[in-house]
Structure 1
């Protein structure tokens, strides 16, 4: 890890210079500080915008996929407008070394910011399904991230990843405890609230968005998250996203062309989703920036140990397909 962190430090000035040179041509330079207006994410001028980009995999496993050349590729070759940084609460992540993973997330925020991209700071809870199990660490993490980045205009906060086997009232209670920690330092950045059933608006556990519509989180400038993996998220999930996004501000912070296991691309269904999200200006980040053997890893296996990240030759079929969706 020391070598990887060194790479971040060595090129800081270069990254900041690139970002400054890009000026208003960058997404942040174009849209300014985004905010929620009605059911939409809007620019500083109040115009609905759609952010499209990528999610990292766990930063404890793939920091070598997030070096400067990789970030250049996403910003300038892929033309991504947003990067989601996934800091795992457990699984060898934050819980194991809070300072190390807070510093790494913070450095990645700076790295993306220098290139004019928006950033979603994701507290990647998964096991156990109740985010309250890690609420003390969540508060500490977001307090430090907000303290360091509260003056930036491009940071969004995703306060938990995929609650599961818990109901909406449990998630809402968690959100209303964590949001004030961020708001005490950063008063007006967008905060992303997870939804039941692995952030499927409840579809994966047999419910739907109605519980959220009937009893929304008591906070302003927030959105609700939706996740899908195309082969397993068929017509009912697509219709739920369409229906819910007309009643709630929704951001799709994680999705894949494959099953959640990482295999079996379904490009036709993925296209139906990306068409809907484009039509309704629903922002999204695709899973994931990594180079393992699974098909949802955008890079071919071993690419992140090399020096070339741009272009399509380094990409798996899913990576090339998603790159086209972002650019298009």
Structure 2
């Protein structure tokens, strides 16, 4: 009996020692592959990942000289739907939508900056400050169709932005949203050079994105007569149901002539912002932009009743949007963002 008792006692103490010598299962390390797949990029902080961007040939490259492609969302005209220009919305776009870039579309005309400069500027700086805190790239967009008529105001605005943010690699300057049917060489380019020179007095490094003729579509004209300054790229805008293969072909020709492009605004629908949600053409554009490492922002983070709006009317201003608050276009774009910008 004592022998059996001794065996039981020894077994008890061995079991006790064995349990105490192991880590709790809750803190056990997962079995990870020694060499994770190279095609998966974990971007918890895009700016920490890619660093100072620059233009090299016909590509935008990261701090290591590798082509980089940013994907994200553009806010709507600030004076009309400014309620989403909040730190909480920016954070949600990073954490849930997995954006690596956002675009603050500061309205200039139509009771925008020209009439209410401090109010509209405050919306922009709120988004920029939040993007810097979250490690996102952020486009400061002079959202104007006739910027050549507001050169002095644009010069003063971008001088102030460069003084404030010139030491932050997060910032990208979009100095002319969508020029109308005016001359590239005679109007848009001279305006752009004036604004670039003003920016460069305080910020020698960050990207400047220049608009192109006819709603930022005539990129070949810029390729034929480019601005002779470093770290300048050119804007290409499209709406998938209206602008199809012919515009992709024109963009390819511009790239082949040596300029870099950024799609700072595109829609999944018709150029009106409404009409059919064209998933087939949008996917064709996504492939084209992926193949050519072209960064993009989708238009738009708004709750307007139109196809291009990413949110449904009444969606809250602070992020946290349930699927029921997101429009069909928003769900479509969010799925692409989450697939291509993995967390």
Q: Scaled by the length of structure 2, what TM-score is found?
A: 0.83
Task: Please give the alpha-carbon distance, in whole angstroms, between the structure 1 residues aligned to 2:301 and 2:284.
Answer: 22
**Match in the other structure for 2:207:** 190
Shift of 1:77: 0.5
Secondary structure, counterpart of 2:325 in structure 1: coil
On the 8 A contact 2:85/2:124 being kept in 1, the answer is no
RMSD of aligned C-alpha atoms? 1.6
| Residues 311 and 280 of structure 1, relative CA distance in 2, 3 Å threshold | farther
Confirm whether residue 64 of structure 1 aligns to residue 83 of structure 2: yes
CA shift digits 1:297-321 (9 cap, x unpaired) = 101111035x653443321000011
Shift of 1:274: 0.5
In structure 1, stretches of 5+ residues that fail to align are: 1-22, 203-208
Shift of 1:218: 2.1
Secondary structure, counterpart of 1:226 in structure 2: strand
Task: Please give the alpha-carbon distance, in whole angstroms, between the structure 2 residues aligned to 1:278 and 1:213.
Answer: 21
**Match in the other structure for 1:251:** 262
Task: Please give the alpha-carbon distance, in whole angstroms, between the structure 2 residues aligned to 1:48 and 1:294.
Answer: 34
**Match in the other structure for 2:151:** 135
**Match in the other structure for 1:282:** 294
| Residues 308 and 226 of structure 1, relative CA distance in 2, 3 Å threshold | closer
Shift of 1:38: 1.1
Task: Please give the alpha-carbon distance, in whole angstroms, between the structure 2 residues aligned to 1:230 and 1:177.
Answer: 33
Secondary structure, counterpart of 1:84 in structure 2: strand
- Say which one has the larger Rg: 2
**Match in the other structure for 1:7:** none
Task: Please give the alpha-carbon distance, in whole angstroms, between the structure 2 residues aligned to 1:324 and 1:246.
Answer: 31
Task: Please give the alpha-carbon distance, in whole angstroms, between the structure 2 residues aligned to 1:233 and 1:24.
Answer: 31
Task: Please give the alpha-carbon distance, in whole angstroms, between the structure 1 residues aligned to 2:319 and 2:96.
Answer: 12
On the 8 A contact 2:174/2:209 being kept in 1, the answer is yes
**Match in the other structure for 1:314:** 325
On the 8 A contact 1:60/1:93 being kept in 2, the answer is yes
On the 8 A contact 1:102/1:145 being kept in 2, the answer is no
| Residues 270 and 168 of structure 1, relative CA distance in 2, 3 Å threshold | same
On the 8 A contact 1:77/1:310 being kept in 2, the answer is no
Which one of 250, 254, 279 corresponds to residue 267 of structure 1?
279
**Match in the other structure for 2:49:** 30
**Match in the other structure for 2:134:** 115
| Residues 52 and 308 of structure 1, relative CA distance in 2, 3 Å threshold | closer
CA shift digits 1:276-299 (9 cap, x unpaired) = 101111000110011011111101
**Match in the other structure for 2:338:** 327
On the 8 A contact 2:59/2:293 being kept in 1, the answer is yes
Confirm whether residue 158 of structure 1 aligns to residue 177 of structure 2: no
- 1:228-247 to 2 correspondence within 5 Å? 228-247=238-257
Shift of 1:24: 7.4
**Match in the other structure for 2:229:** 219
Shift of 1:133: 0.3
Shift of 1:103: 2.4
Task: Please give the alpha-carbon distance, in whole angstroms, between the structure 1 residues aligned to 2:319 and 2:246.
Answer: 40
**Match in the other structure for 2:69:** 50
Which one of 189, 196, 213 corresponds to residue 179 of structure 1?
196
Secondary structure, counterpart of 1:25 in structure 2: coil
Structure 1 stretch 267-276 or stretch 64-73: which is displaced more?
64-73
Task: Please give the alpha-carbon distance, in whole angstroms, between the structure 1 residues aligned to 2:310 and 2:43.
Answer: 28
| Residues 292 and 267 of structure 1, relative CA distance in 2, 3 Å threshold | same
On the 8 A contact 2:176/2:210 being kept in 1, the answer is yes
In structure 2, stretches of 5+ residues that fail to align are: 1-41
